[in-house]
A = this chain, B = another copy of it.
Amino acid sequence: MIRVAVIGYGYWGPNIVRNFRLTPGVRVTTICDSDTSVHQRIRRDYPDIEVVNEWKDVMRSPSIDAVAVVTPVTTHYDIAREALSNGKHVFVEKPFTRTVSQAAKLIDLAAANRLQIMVDHTFLFTGAVRKIKQLVEQKVLGDIYYYDSTRVNLGMFQHDVNVVWDLAPHDFSIMLYLLGETPESVTASGSSHVNSHEDVAYITVNFPHKTLLAHFNVNWLSPVKVRTTLIGGKRKMLVWDDLSQDEKIKIYDKGVNVKSREGIYDLLVAYRSGDMHAPKVDRREALTLECEHFVECIASGKSPLNDGEAGYEVVRMLQACDKSLRENGKPVRL
């Protein structure tokens, strides 16, 4: 039985608690939030869970095996370091840390103490992403030409970071997982209208393999909500519309057939347009599967697919975006 303390009970914390409670092999023993106004609600909903004020109080407790860090990103490093130092596995909200050096230190600390780090890249556990991963691995799409993501809506969810740090961690973690390629450089352009944080941004990611290109459109000031990713492959192309109820993924038998014409340097380009297929996508809640994966990894000692390294890679991209934003869209090598 893994005994978990959850630090932070704001917007996302209640989902973490609810899911860990449903996970076999886990017991949520403690919830910590410095905002005492939520304590009453916790006590009403979960009379059996201890509620505390200060996260430091839970760190020395021998009756806690793992800590879920569901607080603002600026606090992740301190809390996770303390937890790892005290022999506790950590489950950290995305983005992992505020800097790559913080991420690197936590990875080292976990390795030294033989502890697990899981970064809450929840989307990797959705039926949609798991299905696309399968399609990529089975070479259904063929070589990937581009990854083009749009994640826009009205309203910000976090006030201490810009739209890139708020929305792009989802897409960066998904893209890295799906493509399995390490980016080479990043360009980001954005603008601010409400406060000093960028609320509109466009990010382009280049790879060593020049035929692959990724792009991310993130926006807190869009009149419509869009959650769409296009993935163009040599053999097939795919549209993932996460807002669609029944047809989240559509696979198009479309593409280009190129033939060199004999004896000359000219090319015959023919466009291929065939059937469309929308596979059934598993609807189980992603966070439930992620919590189960956390337990399995602690039991087996194997690294989660969303381990500290995965979190590190995302933070590295975020930091490069910030640098490019400051330099008016100049490319930043990773």
Contacts and interface: CB of A to CB of B under 8 A. Distances in A.
Interface of A: 47, 145-146, 148, 152, 154-156, 159, 185, 187, 189-195, 200, 202, 204, 206, 210-213, 215, 217, 219, 221-225, 230, 232, 234, 237-239, 245-247, 250, 252-256, 258, 267, 269, 271, 273-280, 328-331
A148 B230 CA distance: 17
Contact of A254 (B212, B223, B255): B223
Nearest to A146: B200
A280 B275 CA distance: 5
Nearest to A231: B223
B193 A211 contact: yes
A200 B276 contact: no
A217 B152 CA distance: 15
30 contacts: A145-B193, A145-B221, A146-B221, A148-B217, A154-B271, A155-B271, A185-B329, A187-B329, A189-B206, A189-B213, A191-B212, A191-B213, A192-B211, A193-B234, A193-B256, A194-B256, A194-B269, A195-B267, A206-B329, A217-B217, A219-B232, A221-B232, A221-B256, A222-B232, A223-B230, A223-B232, A223-B250, A275-B279, A277-B278, A329-B331
Contact of A202 (B202, B210, B234, B255): B202
A154 B330 contact: no
A311 to B, nearest CB: 26
10 pairs of A and B residues whose beta carbons are closest in the complex = A223-B237, A223-B252, A276-B278, A189-B204, A191-B213, A187-B329, A155-B271, A223-B254, A221-B232, A329-B331
Given A154-B271, A154-B273, A224-B252, 20 more contacts: A146-B221, A156-B269, A185-B329, A187-B187, A191-B210, A194-B269, A195-B258, A200-B232, A202-B202, A204-B329, A215-B217, A221-B232, A223-B238, A224-B239, A224-B246, A253-B280, A273-B280, A275-B278, A276-B278, A329-B329
A246 B253 CA distance: 12
Contact of A330 (B156, B202, B256, B330): B330
Q: Which of A47, A193, A194 has the most CB of B within 10 A?
A: A193
B280 A194 contact: no
A313 to B, nearest CB: 20
Contacts of A146: 191, 200, 219, 221
Contacts of A222: 230, 232, 237
A213 B230 CA distance: 23
A94 to B, nearest CB: 22
Contacts of A202: 202, 204, 213, 215
Nearest to A191: B213
Contacts of A238: 223
A46 to B, nearest CB: 11
